[in-house]
Structure 1
Amino acid sequence: MNKRSVAIRSLRSGGLMAAIALLGGCFLAEDDNANPIIPDDALAYPLKFGDGRECEEQDDGELSCQRASFERLAEGGYSITVYQEITTDEDGEQSGESGTTSSEYKLRALRGAGVPADTYLVQTVSASERERFLGLLKRSSRGGWLKISPNCDKLSPEAFVRFMNQGWLHTEEGATLDSLTCHIVRDGLDDARLYSILSSTKSSGDNKILFSGG
Protein backbone atom coordinates (compact mmCIF):
# COMPACT_ATOMS: atom_id res chain seq x y z
CA MET A 1 0.00 0.00 0.00
CA ASN A 2 1.48 3.37 -1.01
CA LYS A 3 1.66 6.52 1.12
CA ARG A 4 -1.34 8.12 -0.53
CA SER A 5 -3.54 5.06 0.05
CA VAL A 6 -2.51 4.87 3.70
CA ALA A 7 -3.51 8.50 4.27
CA ILE A 8 -6.85 8.15 2.47
CA ARG A 9 -7.68 4.93 4.32
CA SER A 10 -6.84 6.57 7.67
CA LEU A 11 -9.10 9.51 6.92
CA ARG A 12 -12.04 7.33 5.92
CA SER A 13 -11.69 4.98 8.89
CA GLY A 14 -12.17 7.82 11.39
CA GLY A 15 -14.82 9.73 9.47
CA LEU A 16 -13.76 12.25 6.85
CA MET A 17 -15.10 15.40 8.48
CA ALA A 18 -13.82 14.55 11.96
CA ALA A 19 -10.40 13.53 10.68
CA ILE A 20 -9.82 16.66 8.62
CA ALA A 21 -10.66 18.81 11.64
CA LEU A 22 -7.71 17.24 13.45
CA LEU A 23 -5.13 17.71 10.72
CA GLY A 24 -2.14 19.80 11.72
CA GLY A 25 1.14 20.76 10.14
CA CYS A 26 2.48 22.75 7.23
CA PHE A 27 3.41 22.29 3.60
CA LEU A 28 6.88 21.11 2.58
CA ALA A 29 8.45 20.50 -0.84
CA GLU A 30 9.26 16.86 -1.53
CA ASP A 31 13.00 16.13 -1.97
CA ASP A 32 13.99 19.76 -1.46
CA ASN A 33 17.62 18.91 -0.67
CA ALA A 34 18.15 17.24 -4.03
CA ASN A 35 15.89 19.56 -6.01
CA PRO A 36 15.41 22.94 -4.30
CA ILE A 37 11.99 24.41 -4.97
CA ILE A 38 13.65 27.85 -4.78
CA PRO A 39 17.04 27.52 -6.50
CA ASP A 40 19.60 30.25 -5.93
CA ASP A 41 19.37 31.51 -9.51
CA ALA A 42 15.61 32.13 -9.10
CA LEU A 43 15.71 34.21 -5.90
CA ALA A 44 13.49 37.30 -5.98
CA TYR A 45 13.50 40.46 -3.86
CA PRO A 46 10.13 42.24 -4.12
CA LEU A 47 10.41 43.70 -0.59
CA LYS A 48 12.58 46.79 -0.31
CA PHE A 49 15.45 46.58 2.13
CA GLY A 50 15.47 48.83 5.16
CA ASP A 51 12.88 49.89 7.70
CA GLY A 52 9.23 48.98 7.44
CA ARG A 53 6.27 47.53 9.32
CA GLU A 54 4.61 44.19 9.96
CA CYS A 55 0.84 44.53 10.43
CA GLU A 56 -2.26 42.44 10.98
CA GLU A 57 -5.88 43.36 10.49
CA GLN A 58 -7.99 43.57 13.64
CA ASP A 59 -11.66 42.61 14.00
CA ASP A 60 -12.64 46.25 13.53
CA GLY A 61 -10.72 46.45 10.24
CA GLU A 62 -7.92 48.58 11.64
CA LEU A 63 -4.29 47.57 11.22
CA SER A 64 -2.13 46.81 14.25
CA CYS A 65 1.50 47.33 13.26
CA GLN A 66 4.97 46.81 14.66
CA ARG A 67 8.23 48.26 13.46
CA ALA A 68 10.25 45.91 11.24
CA SER A 69 13.47 45.85 9.26
CA PHE A 70 14.22 43.96 6.04
CA GLU A 71 17.78 42.85 5.34
CA ARG A 72 19.40 40.72 2.65
CA LEU A 73 21.04 37.50 3.81
CA ALA A 74 24.61 36.93 2.67
CA GLU A 75 23.62 33.54 1.20
CA GLY A 76 20.49 34.97 -0.46
CA GLY A 77 17.04 35.68 0.85
CA TYR A 78 15.58 37.94 3.51
CA SER A 79 16.02 38.41 7.22
CA ILE A 80 12.94 40.11 8.67
CA THR A 81 13.21 41.45 12.21
CA VAL A 82 10.08 42.60 14.04
CA TYR A 83 10.35 44.84 17.10
CA GLN A 84 7.75 44.31 19.81
CA GLU A 85 7.15 47.40 21.90
CA ILE A 86 5.12 48.19 25.01
CA THR A 87 2.11 50.34 24.09
CA THR A 88 0.19 52.82 26.22
CA ASP A 89 -3.52 53.51 25.69
CA GLU A 90 -5.46 56.73 26.36
CA ASP A 91 -5.93 55.75 30.01
CA GLY A 92 -2.22 55.25 30.53
CA GLU A 93 -2.53 51.46 30.67
CA GLN A 94 0.44 49.59 29.21
CA SER A 95 0.24 46.35 27.29
CA GLY A 96 2.54 44.05 25.37
CA GLU A 97 6.21 43.41 25.93
CA SER A 98 9.43 44.57 24.36
CA GLY A 99 11.75 42.36 22.33
CA THR A 100 12.57 41.27 18.79
CA THR A 101 11.81 38.27 16.60
CA SER A 102 13.72 37.41 13.44
CA SER A 103 12.74 35.14 10.56
CA GLU A 104 14.56 34.19 7.38
CA TYR A 105 12.92 33.49 4.02
CA LYS A 106 13.66 32.80 0.38
CA LEU A 107 11.30 33.98 -2.35
CA ARG A 108 10.79 33.32 -6.04
CA ALA A 109 8.18 34.59 -8.47
CA LEU A 110 5.30 32.29 -9.45
CA ARG A 111 4.05 32.40 -13.03
CA GLY A 112 1.52 30.51 -15.08
CA ALA A 113 -2.16 30.16 -15.86
CA GLY A 114 -4.29 31.16 -12.89
CA VAL A 115 -1.41 32.70 -10.92
CA PRO A 116 -2.08 36.39 -10.13
CA ALA A 117 0.59 38.92 -11.03
CA ASP A 118 3.07 39.82 -8.28
CA THR A 119 2.72 36.48 -6.49
CA TYR A 120 5.75 34.84 -4.85
CA LEU A 121 6.52 31.49 -3.27
CA VAL A 122 7.92 31.91 0.24
CA GLN A 123 10.10 29.29 1.93
CA THR A 124 11.50 29.38 5.45
CA VAL A 125 15.31 29.22 5.45
CA SER A 126 16.53 26.21 7.42
CA ALA A 127 19.35 23.66 7.30
CA SER A 128 16.68 21.02 7.93
CA GLU A 129 14.52 20.04 4.98
CA ARG A 130 11.70 19.30 7.43
CA GLU A 131 11.53 22.93 8.55
CA ARG A 132 11.45 24.68 5.17
CA PHE A 133 7.80 25.60 5.33
CA LEU A 134 6.07 27.00 2.25
CA GLY A 135 3.77 30.00 1.89
CA LEU A 136 2.80 32.79 -0.45
CA LEU A 137 3.46 36.51 -0.76
CA LYS A 138 1.12 38.66 -2.85
CA ARG A 139 -0.06 42.23 -3.13
CA SER A 140 -2.47 43.27 -0.40
CA SER A 141 -5.59 45.35 -1.01
CA ARG A 142 -4.43 47.41 1.99
CA GLY A 143 -1.16 48.20 0.25
CA GLY A 144 2.08 46.39 0.99
CA TRP A 145 2.44 42.62 0.75
CA LEU A 146 0.27 39.90 2.30
CA LYS A 147 2.31 36.94 3.58
CA ILE A 148 0.15 33.82 3.72
CA SER A 149 1.21 30.94 5.98
CA PRO A 150 -1.00 28.00 4.97
CA ASN A 151 -1.49 24.82 7.02
CA CYS A 152 -2.81 21.41 6.00
CA ASP A 153 -5.54 21.61 8.62
CA LYS A 154 -7.01 24.62 6.85
CA LEU A 155 -7.72 22.66 3.66
CA SER A 156 -11.36 21.75 3.16
CA PRO A 157 -12.07 17.99 3.33
CA GLU A 158 -12.93 18.01 -0.37
CA ALA A 159 -9.71 19.78 -1.37
CA PHE A 160 -7.53 17.52 0.79
CA VAL A 161 -8.99 14.31 -0.63
CA ARG A 162 -8.90 15.69 -4.19
CA PHE A 163 -5.22 16.65 -3.92
CA MET A 164 -4.36 13.25 -2.44
CA ASN A 165 -6.27 11.37 -5.15
CA GLN A 166 -4.60 13.48 -7.84
CA GLY A 167 -1.19 12.59 -6.41
CA TRP A 168 -0.37 16.21 -5.62
CA LEU A 169 0.31 15.58 -1.91
CA HIS A 170 1.63 12.74 0.21
CA THR A 171 2.11 12.13 3.91
CA GLU A 172 4.69 10.11 5.79
CA GLU A 173 4.14 6.49 6.78
CA GLY A 174 2.73 6.28 10.28
CA ALA A 175 1.79 9.97 10.41
CA THR A 176 -0.92 10.74 12.95
CA LEU A 177 -3.82 13.03 12.19
CA ASP A 178 -2.86 15.54 14.89
CA SER A 179 0.65 16.10 13.48
CA LEU A 180 0.24 15.51 9.75
CA THR A 181 2.55 17.40 7.39
CA CYS A 182 1.70 17.63 3.70
CA HIS A 183 4.57 17.06 1.27
CA ILE A 184 3.97 18.59 -2.16
CA VAL A 185 4.81 16.00 -4.83
CA ARG A 186 7.38 17.32 -7.30
CA ASP A 187 6.55 15.01 -10.22
CA GLY A 188 4.57 17.10 -12.69
CA LEU A 189 4.57 20.13 -10.39
CA ASP A 190 4.32 23.55 -12.02
CA ASP A 191 3.65 27.00 -10.59
CA ALA A 192 -0.07 26.86 -11.38
CA ARG A 193 -0.47 23.63 -9.37
CA LEU A 194 1.71 24.96 -6.55
CA TYR A 195 -0.38 28.12 -6.30
CA SER A 196 -3.60 26.09 -6.39
CA ILE A 197 -2.47 24.00 -3.40
CA LEU A 198 -1.12 26.83 -1.25
CA SER A 199 -4.02 29.20 -1.97
CA SER A 200 -6.73 26.60 -1.22
CA THR A 201 -6.43 26.90 2.56
CA LYS A 202 -8.52 29.15 4.74
CA SER A 203 -6.76 31.86 6.72
CA SER A 204 -4.39 30.33 9.27
CA GLY A 205 -4.76 33.30 11.59
CA ASP A 206 -1.11 34.33 11.35
CA ASN A 207 -1.09 36.01 7.94
CA LYS A 208 0.76 39.34 8.02
CA ILE A 209 0.85 42.44 5.85
CA LEU A 210 4.40 43.63 5.25
CA PHE A 211 5.19 47.25 4.39
CA SER A 212 8.79 47.68 3.33
CA GLY A 213 10.89 50.66 2.38
CA GLY A 214 9.90 53.05 5.14
Structure 2
Amino acid sequence: MKAMILAAGKGERMRPLTLTTPKPLLAVGGKRLIEYHLLALAQAGFSEVVINHAWLGQQIEDYLGDGARYGVAIEYSRETEPLETGGGIRHALPLLGDAPFLVVNGDIWTDYDFSQLRGPLAGQAHLVLVDNPAHHPDGDFTLFEGQVRDQPGLTYSGIAVLDPALFDGHGEAAFKLAPLLRRAMDVGQVTGEQHLGQWVDVGTTQRLSDLDRLLAERG
Protein backbone atom coordinates (compact mmCIF):
# COMPACT_ATOMS: atom_id res chain seq x y z
CA MET A 1 0.00 0.00 0.00
CA LYS A 2 1.25 3.49 -0.88
CA ALA A 3 0.75 6.55 1.30
CA MET A 4 0.09 10.19 0.39
CA ILE A 5 0.89 13.21 2.53
CA LEU A 6 -1.15 16.32 1.70
CA ALA A 7 1.24 19.26 1.76
CA ALA A 8 -0.08 21.77 -0.80
CA GLY A 9 -1.85 24.26 1.47
CA LYS A 10 -0.63 27.84 1.86
CA GLY A 11 -1.04 27.83 5.64
CA GLU A 12 -2.54 31.30 5.71
CA ARG A 13 -3.53 31.07 9.38
CA MET A 14 0.11 30.36 10.21
CA ARG A 15 1.42 33.64 8.81
CA PRO A 16 3.98 35.17 9.08
CA LEU A 17 5.75 31.80 9.52
CA THR A 18 4.40 30.44 6.25
CA LEU A 19 5.27 33.47 4.16
CA THR A 20 8.73 32.00 3.68
CA THR A 21 8.35 28.37 4.82
CA PRO A 22 5.70 25.83 3.71
CA LYS A 23 3.66 24.67 6.69
CA PRO A 24 4.82 21.01 6.55
CA LEU A 25 8.41 22.22 7.04
CA LEU A 26 7.69 24.21 10.20
CA ALA A 27 9.79 22.91 13.06
CA VAL A 28 8.26 21.53 16.24
CA GLY A 29 9.88 19.37 18.89
CA GLY A 30 13.16 19.32 17.02
CA LYS A 31 11.75 18.01 13.71
CA ARG A 32 9.80 19.36 10.77
CA LEU A 33 6.09 18.51 10.92
CA ILE A 34 6.20 16.31 7.85
CA GLU A 35 9.18 14.35 9.18
CA TYR A 36 7.02 12.87 11.95
CA HIS A 37 4.73 11.39 9.28
CA LEU A 38 7.57 10.02 7.17
CA LEU A 39 9.22 8.31 10.12
CA ALA A 40 5.92 6.90 11.39
CA LEU A 41 4.98 5.63 7.93
CA ALA A 42 8.34 3.91 7.52
CA GLN A 43 7.99 2.31 10.94
CA ALA A 44 4.51 1.09 9.95
CA GLY A 45 5.88 -0.67 6.86
CA PHE A 46 5.10 1.89 4.15
CA SER A 47 7.92 2.22 1.66
CA GLU A 48 6.39 4.41 -1.09
CA VAL A 49 5.10 7.90 -0.30
CA VAL A 50 3.57 10.53 -2.56
CA ILE A 51 3.66 14.16 -1.42
CA ASN A 52 1.70 16.87 -3.21
CA HIS A 53 2.83 20.47 -3.00
CA ALA A 54 2.18 23.91 -4.44
CA TRP A 55 3.06 26.85 -2.19
CA LEU A 56 6.88 26.99 -1.80
CA GLY A 57 6.86 23.36 -2.86
CA GLN A 58 10.43 23.30 -4.11
CA GLN A 59 11.55 23.80 -0.51
CA ILE A 60 9.81 20.56 0.40
CA GLU A 61 11.57 18.66 -2.38
CA ASP A 62 14.93 20.21 -1.54
CA TYR A 63 14.62 19.35 2.16
CA LEU A 64 13.17 15.82 1.92
CA GLY A 65 14.88 14.69 -1.27
CA ASP A 66 14.09 11.15 -2.36
CA GLY A 67 13.13 10.10 1.18
CA ALA A 68 15.99 7.62 1.61
CA ARG A 69 17.10 9.02 4.96
CA TYR A 70 13.60 8.38 6.32
CA GLY A 71 13.44 4.84 4.98
CA VAL A 72 10.92 5.58 2.21
CA ALA A 73 10.89 6.46 -1.48
CA ILE A 74 9.19 9.80 -2.17
CA GLU A 75 7.48 10.89 -5.38
CA TYR A 76 6.14 14.42 -5.72
CA SER A 77 2.83 15.52 -7.19
CA ARG A 78 3.35 19.14 -8.22
CA GLU A 79 0.35 21.47 -8.43
CA THR A 80 0.47 24.71 -10.40
CA GLU A 81 -2.99 25.90 -9.31
CA PRO A 82 -5.09 25.42 -6.15
CA LEU A 83 -6.80 22.04 -6.42
CA GLU A 84 -8.16 21.66 -2.84
CA THR A 85 -8.00 18.31 -1.11
CA GLY A 86 -10.09 16.23 -3.49
CA GLY A 87 -8.53 17.70 -6.60
CA GLY A 88 -5.05 17.30 -5.19
CA ILE A 89 -5.57 13.62 -4.48
CA ARG A 90 -7.10 12.94 -7.87
CA HIS A 91 -4.21 14.76 -9.55
CA ALA A 92 -1.83 12.37 -7.77
CA LEU A 93 -3.70 9.16 -8.67
CA PRO A 94 -1.30 8.27 -11.53
CA LEU A 95 1.45 8.08 -8.89
CA LEU A 96 -0.71 6.20 -6.38
CA GLY A 97 -1.90 3.40 -8.66
CA ASP A 98 -5.12 1.41 -8.72
CA ALA A 99 -5.10 0.01 -5.16
CA PRO A 100 -6.43 1.68 -1.99
CA PHE A 101 -3.92 4.07 -0.42
CA LEU A 102 -3.43 5.84 2.89
CA VAL A 103 -3.75 9.62 2.97
CA VAL A 104 -2.75 11.92 5.83
CA ASN A 105 -2.88 15.68 6.19
CA GLY A 106 0.57 17.21 6.41
CA ASP A 107 -0.48 19.71 9.08
CA ILE A 108 -1.46 17.30 11.85
CA TRP A 109 0.63 15.57 14.51
CA THR A 110 -0.46 12.27 16.02
CA ASP A 111 0.74 9.11 17.73
CA TYR A 112 -1.62 7.01 15.59
CA ASP A 113 -0.10 3.71 14.41
CA PHE A 114 -0.41 3.76 10.62
CA SER A 115 0.20 0.01 10.42
CA GLN A 116 -3.41 -0.48 11.53
CA LEU A 117 -4.56 0.74 8.11
CA ARG A 118 -2.67 -1.77 5.99
CA GLY A 119 -5.50 -4.33 5.90
CA PRO A 120 -8.14 -4.77 3.18
CA LEU A 121 -10.54 -1.87 2.61
CA ALA A 122 -14.26 -2.63 2.94
CA GLY A 123 -15.94 0.00 0.78
CA GLN A 124 -14.56 3.17 -0.77
CA ALA A 125 -13.08 4.82 2.31
CA HIS A 126 -12.04 4.20 5.91
CA LEU A 127 -11.73 7.26 8.16
CA VAL A 128 -9.93 7.76 11.45
CA LEU A 129 -11.99 9.98 13.75
CA VAL A 130 -10.98 11.71 16.98
CA ASP A 131 -12.67 13.53 19.85
CA ASN A 132 -13.65 17.08 18.94
CA PRO A 133 -10.95 19.66 19.71
CA ALA A 134 -11.89 22.96 21.31
CA HIS A 135 -11.66 24.79 17.99
CA HIS A 136 -14.08 22.35 16.30
CA PRO A 137 -16.63 21.50 19.02
CA ASP A 138 -19.40 20.06 16.82
CA GLY A 139 -17.26 17.60 14.87
CA ASP A 140 -17.86 16.23 11.38
CA PHE A 141 -19.22 12.68 11.35
CA THR A 142 -20.70 9.99 13.57
CA LEU A 143 -19.36 6.47 14.00
CA PHE A 144 -22.01 3.74 14.38
CA GLU A 145 -21.12 0.05 14.44
CA GLY A 146 -18.05 0.62 12.30
CA GLN A 147 -19.85 2.76 9.71
CA VAL A 148 -19.35 6.51 9.32
CA ARG A 149 -22.49 8.60 8.98
CA ASP A 150 -22.95 12.19 7.88
CA GLN A 151 -23.92 13.57 11.27
CA PRO A 152 -21.84 15.74 13.63
CA GLY A 153 -20.28 13.88 16.51
CA LEU A 154 -16.57 13.22 16.04
CA THR A 155 -13.87 15.05 14.10
CA TYR A 156 -12.21 13.69 10.97
CA SER A 157 -8.53 13.39 11.84
CA GLY A 158 -7.16 13.90 8.35
CA ILE A 159 -6.14 10.22 8.23
CA ALA A 160 -7.90 7.82 5.87
CA VAL A 161 -7.61 4.97 3.44
CA LEU A 162 -9.24 5.74 0.10
CA ASP A 163 -10.08 3.65 -2.94
CA PRO A 164 -9.31 5.40 -6.25
CA ALA A 165 -12.87 4.48 -7.31
CA LEU A 166 -14.09 7.19 -4.90
CA PHE A 167 -12.98 9.75 -7.50
CA ASP A 168 -14.62 8.13 -10.54
CA GLY A 169 -16.63 10.51 -12.70
CA HIS A 170 -15.50 13.70 -11.02
CA GLY A 171 -14.74 16.15 -13.80
CA GLU A 172 -13.75 19.34 -11.99
CA ALA A 173 -10.09 20.23 -11.55
CA ALA A 174 -10.41 21.62 -8.02
CA PHE A 175 -12.83 20.15 -5.49
CA LYS A 176 -13.13 19.26 -1.83
CA LEU A 177 -12.90 15.72 -0.51
CA ALA A 178 -15.79 15.92 1.96
CA PRO A 179 -18.64 15.85 -0.61
CA LEU A 180 -17.22 12.65 -2.13
CA LEU A 181 -17.02 11.07 1.31
CA ARG A 182 -20.60 12.10 2.12
CA ARG A 183 -21.83 10.62 -1.16
CA ALA A 184 -20.10 7.34 -0.30
CA MET A 185 -21.52 7.43 3.25
CA ASP A 186 -25.04 7.67 1.82
CA VAL A 187 -24.59 4.24 0.24
CA GLY A 188 -22.77 2.62 3.18
CA GLN A 189 -19.32 2.69 1.61
CA VAL A 190 -17.39 4.43 4.42
CA THR A 191 -16.11 2.59 7.47
CA GLY A 192 -14.28 4.18 10.37
CA GLU A 193 -12.60 3.96 13.73
CA GLN A 194 -11.93 6.30 16.64
CA HIS A 195 -8.38 7.11 17.68
CA LEU A 196 -8.20 7.71 21.43
CA GLY A 197 -4.53 8.67 21.50
CA GLN A 198 -2.89 12.02 20.86
CA TRP A 199 -3.77 14.16 17.86
CA VAL A 200 -3.21 17.84 17.12
CA ASP A 201 -4.45 19.90 14.20
CA VAL A 202 -1.55 22.32 13.82
CA GLY A 203 -3.58 25.06 12.17
CA THR A 204 -2.42 28.17 14.03
CA THR A 205 0.80 29.52 15.51
CA GLN A 206 -0.67 29.03 18.99
CA ARG A 207 -1.33 25.35 18.36
CA LEU A 208 2.18 24.99 16.98
CA SER A 209 3.55 26.44 20.23
CA ASP A 210 1.28 24.20 22.29
CA LEU A 211 2.51 21.12 20.41
CA ASP A 212 6.11 22.20 20.91
CA ARG A 213 5.51 22.26 24.66
CA LEU A 214 3.75 18.88 24.56
CA LEU A 215 6.66 17.27 22.74
CA ALA A 216 9.14 18.85 25.15
CA GLU A 217 7.22 17.31 28.07
CA ARG A 218 7.28 13.91 26.35
CA GLY A 219 11.03 14.17 26.15
TM-score normalized by the length of structure 1: 0.26
Structure having the higher Rg:
1
TM-score normalized by the length of structure 2: 0.25
